[in-house]
């Protein structure tokens, strides 16, 4: 645990990326990997990779590279691959439906186990094997889920957030453009797809590569 807390946040964010690639190498039977190979595959410069990997206690040797098995066991331990985080999704519109159909389990340790919507016609069935419940029954049906994905319209975001927080949710992935307010004990990651897209277009125009 102490080892984990020493990893800088920026490094921790790249960990799932490394994990996915290293796991594929392992499945292919590869024993080692150079920082150059890694760099090309995950599109992170090799100096950053070397610095990141030094936090993992992985010391690459010149002409040898990194030991794939060691890295994999470190990543598994750190990412708690054996322990699945259960997630609730709120708002089964176009984006929410896409997430339910997307198999998060493929390379990840998270799983959407329940979804909620306010429209009666959307409630009762399943999408991608995930049951859809009515938002009125949120507290009753979400069980011990600690992470929620918000794909509702902006104006619904704060009200639902307050209910999630009261129920004990500790992490929210907010796909609505609304800035939501939570206590300092709750972590919110905000992904505004239209802002990201605008920002990409802006950079392409003003800072061409
Ligand atoms: P669609 O138009 O097909 O619903 P969308 O993603 O564009 O797709 P939004 O208006 O963004 O639709 O709403 C997303 C989903 O959130 C809808 O399914 C809607 O019924 C649901 N929703 C709206 N308000 C709430 C609420 N208060 N609680 C739970 N779900 C809600």
Per domain, the residue ranges of the chain are 2-77, 85-195
Token digits for 5?
A: 């807390």
> In the chain, what is the straight-line distance between the N-terminal and C-terminal CA atoms, in Å?
41
Q: Which protein residues are within 6 Å of ligand 1, measured from CB? A: 90-96, 116-119, 122, 135, 151-153, 156, 160
Q: What share of the chain has pLDDT > 90, as a percent?
A: 61
Token digits for 84?
A: 């699945």
**Which pLDDT does position 191 carry in this prediction?**
94
Q: Smallest Cα–Cα separation from 16: which of 149, 108, 147?
A: 108
Q: How far apart are CA 132 and CA 116, in angstroms?
A: 5
Can you say which residues are annotated as belonging to the binding site? 91-96
Q: Mean pLDDT over all residues of the chain?
A: 89
Tokens 């190498």, located at residue: 25
**Which pLDDT does position 103 carry in this prediction?**
65
Q: Give 143's DSSP letter.
A: T
pLDDT band at 4 (very low <50, low <70, confident <90, very high): very low
Residue closest via CA to ligand 1's atom 4 equals 93
CATH class assigned to 2-77:
mainly alpha
Residue closest via CA to ligand 1's atom 17 equals 93
Whether residue 105 is predicted with pLDDT greater than 90 in this model: the reply is no
Q: How far apart are CA 29 and CA 181, in angstroms?
A: 47
CA of 200 to the centre of ligand 1 (A): 26
Most informative mutation of 152, 160, 178 for ligand 1 (most atoms within 8 A of CB):
152
Higher pLDDT, 111 or 118: 118
**Which pLDDT does position 120 carry in this prediction?**
96
Of 10-19, 104-113, 134-143, 168-177, where does mean pLDDT reach its minimum? 104-113
* pLDDT tens string 74-88: 888 887 666 788 999
Determine how β-strand 66-67 pairs with β-strand 32-33: antiparallel
Residue closest via CA to ligand 1's atom 12 equals 93
Q: Which fold has domain 85-195?
A: Rossmann fold (3.40.50)
Greatest Cα pair distance in the chain: 62
Higher pLDDT, 63 or 187: 187
Q: Which atom of ligand 1 is nearest to the CA of 96?
A: 6
The residues facing 203 across adjacent strands are: none
Overall average pLDDT of the 123-151 stretch: 96
Q: Which residues contact 165 (CB under 8 A, 6 or more apart)?
A: 182, 183, 186
| Under 8 Å between Cβ of 195 and 178 | no
Q: Which residues contact 19 (CB under 8 A, 6 or more apart)?
A: 72, 75, 76, 79, 81, 107
CA angle centred on 32, ends 28 and 33, rounded to 5°: 95
Token digits for 10?
A: 């920026």
ipTM over 0.95: no
Token digits for 156?
A: 């619904």
CA of 152 to the centre of ligand 1 (A): 5
| Under 8 Å between Cβ of 67 and 31 | yes
Q: Is 123 helix (H, G, I), strand (E, B) or coil?
A: coil
Can you say which residues are annotated as belonging to the binding site for NAD(+)? 91-96
């Amino acid at each position: 645990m102490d080892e984990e807390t020493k990893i800088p946040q920026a490094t921790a964010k790249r960990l799932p990326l490394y994990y996915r690639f290293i796991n594929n190498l392992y499945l292919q039977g590869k024993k080692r990997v150079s920082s150059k190979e890694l760099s090309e595959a995950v599109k992170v410069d090799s100096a950053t990779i070397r610095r990141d990997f030094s936090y993992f206690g992985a010391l690459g040797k010149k002409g040898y590279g990194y030991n794939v098995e060691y890295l994999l066991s470190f990543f598994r331990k750190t990412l708690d691959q054996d322990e699945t985080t259960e997630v609730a999704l709120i708002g089964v519109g176009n984006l929410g439906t896409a997430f339910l159909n997307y198999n998060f389990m493929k390379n990840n340790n998270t799983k959407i186990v329940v979804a909620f919507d306010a429209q009666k016609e959307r409630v009762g069935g399943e999408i991608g094997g995930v049951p859809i419940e009515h938002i009125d029954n949120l507290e009753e049906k979400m069980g011990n889920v600690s992470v929620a994905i918000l794909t509702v319209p902006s104006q619904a975001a704060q009200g639902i957030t307050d209910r999630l927080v009261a129920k004990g949710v500790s992490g929210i992935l907010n796909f609505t453009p609304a800035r939501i307010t939570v206590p300092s004990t709750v972590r919110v990651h905000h992904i505004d797809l239209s802002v990201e897209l605008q920002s990409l277009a802006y950079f392409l125009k003003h800072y061409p590569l």
